[in-house]
Amino acid sequence: MAKGYRVKAFGGPEVMVWEDLHLGALPPGAVRVRVGASGINFAETRMRAGDYSGQELPFVMGMEVAGIVEEVGAQVAEFKPGDRVFGRVRGAHAEVVDCDPEHLMRLPDNLSLAQGAAIPVGFLTAWHALYTVGNMTAGERILVEAVGGSVGSAALALAKQAGCWTLGTASREDKLDRATAMGCDAVVNYTRESVSERARALTDGAGMDIGLMTIGDATATELIDAMGMDGRVVMFGSTGGRDISFNLRIGILNIQLLSMSISTSPAFMARTMPAFRARALPMFASGELVPVVDTIMPMKELVRAHAMVDERSHFGKVILVNEL
């Protein structure tokens, strides 16, 4: 019988309990994966705490997986036992998880399972935000909030690969240093200086073409003020507050406010997943894109790992691994 981390009551990291899971027979349209690695996302700390819209109890932790296919349902033709795969799935902080094959991809041979587990949520969210929603093109100026986070570091990697100029923000100097080492063209500590003033100074007053709003109320005004003519603000995070206000000057500059969620957007499955398979996977296979992994820990240290994510001291992904 497989085990996993189940949450039966909202609270701190201690509410996650390693216990038996009763998976039952594999549905005909599903893929059963032996979990080799699973990433932790900031959203999961909010789920655990009861601060995530629509989350019901009980549930098994984990939103992304990399592992080995153990069994495929009778209706599944694209995968077979033994395949190395990765993708988005609920309940991945476990030994085994059943997955929808539409959300799975084959893991390039050059990547470890730990690296594979760093891709699904961060890179797919960043791709959806930059390409599907933001319509990023080469040469544009991209403002990445929380550049040290899972999505932020992935967005930085994608924007640089696309030939864009990047400005990254964070509240810690060590994260800004890491972003600079990744190739970020300019960085700003948003707790110490004005993001909008810095952005305009660096762009000769032109402002930014795309701004990724991942923090919310605490930084929203500064991000919007940093945008240039016809700028696109892509909104998908609220770690600093959900209620935002803005000046109606956005109408004069024709700034677009674009909200998104990869969980509910029809365009995610229709456009983002096919584009990611066709364009991003070869980049990972060639080494042109590299997953951003900060720390690798045993799965049974999930409680300690969540405490680390709560502190926001990491850059990129914290990964949990099982012995296979």
- Strands (E) across the chain are located at 3-7, 16-20, 31-40, 59-60, 64-72, 84-88, 96-99, 104-106, 141-144, 165-170, 186-189, 208-213, 227-235, 256-259, 293-298, 317-321
**CATH number where 154 lies:** 3.40.50.720
What are φ and ψ of residue 79, in 5° steps? -130, 160
Contact 198, 223 (CB under 8 A): no
DSSP 27: P
Instruction: State the average pLDDT over residues 251-256.
Output: 82
Q: 126 with 115, same domain?
A: no
Q: Is the pLDDT of residue 240 over 60?
A: no
Q: 95 with 131, same domain?
A: no
Distance CA 308, CA 223 (A): 27
Q: Is the pLDDT of residue 61 over 90?
A: yes
Percent of the chain with pLDDT over 70: 95
User: Last residue of a domain, which of 244, 259, 274?
Assistant: 259
**pLDDT for the residue 225:** 92
With CA atoms as reference, report the closest residue to 166 among 191, 140, 133, 198. 140
Domain presence at residue 264: no
Local confidence band at 241 (pLDDT 50, 70, 90 cut-offs): very low
Distance CA 47, CA 282 (A): 33
Q: 66 with 129, same domain?
A: no
Instruction: State the average pLDDT over residues 67-93.
Output: 98
Q: Is the pLDDT of residue 160 over 80?
A: yes
Instruction: State the average pLDDT over residues 291-297.
Output: 96
Distance CA 131, CA 305 (A): 31
Helix ranges, 165-301 (H) = 173-181, 195-202, 217-225, 249-252, 266-267, 273-275, 281-286
Domain presence at residue 278: no
Domain presence at residue 283: no
Q: Is the pLDDT of residue 243 over 90?
A: no
Domain presence at residue 279: no
Q: 113 with 131, same domain?
A: no
**pLDDT for the residue 239:** 54
Percent of the chain with pLDDT over 90: 83
Q: Is the pLDDT of residue 294 over 80?
A: yes
Q: 16 with 135, same domain?
A: no
Would you call 258 helix, strand, or coil by DSSP?
A: strand
Local confidence band at 253 (pLDDT 50, 70, 90 cut-offs): confident
Domain containing residue 59: 3-119+291-321
**CATH number where 56 lies:** 3.90.180.10
301-323 confidence digits (pLDDT tens) = 999 999 888 888 899 999 999 99
Distance CA 163, CA 139 (A): 6
Contact 177, 147 (CB under 8 A): no
Q: 53 with 157, same domain?
A: no
Q: Given CA atoms 95, 96, 102, 106 in this order, what sign does their dihedral have?
A: positive
Domain presence at residue 140: yes
**pLDDT for the residue 324:** 79
**pLDDT for the residue 251:** 67
**pLDDT for the residue 1:** 81
**pLDDT for the residue 310:** 85
> Which residues on neighbouring strands pair with residue 60, listed in sequence order?
6
Distance CA 42, CA 153 (A): 13
Q: 65 with 164, same domain?
A: no
Domain presence at residue 281: no
**pLDDT for the residue 233:** 95
2-20 confidence digits (pLDDT tens) = 999 999 999 999 999 999 9
Q: 36 with 160, same domain?
A: no
How high does pLDDT run on average in the chain? 93
- Number of compact structural domains in the chain: 2
DSSP 193: S
User: Last residue of a domain, which of 235, 259, 283?
Assistant: 259
Q: Is the pLDDT of residue 242 over 60?
A: no
176-204 confidence digits (pLDDT tens) = 999 999 999 999 999 999 999 999 999 99
Q: Which amino acid is at 276?
A: F
Instruction: State the average pLDDT over residues 133-162.
Output: 97
Contact 89, 79 (CB under 8 A): no
Q: 134 with 242, same domain?
A: yes
**pLDDT for the residue 217:** 66
Q: 130 with 233, same domain?
A: yes
Domain presence at residue 187: yes
Q: 29 with 139, same domain?
A: no
206-228 confidence digits (pLDDT tens) = 999 999 998 766 788 899 999 99
Domain presence at residue 231: yes
C-alpha atoms less than 13 angstroms from C-alpha of 270 in its C-beta half-sphere:
6
Q: 236 with 313, same domain?
A: no
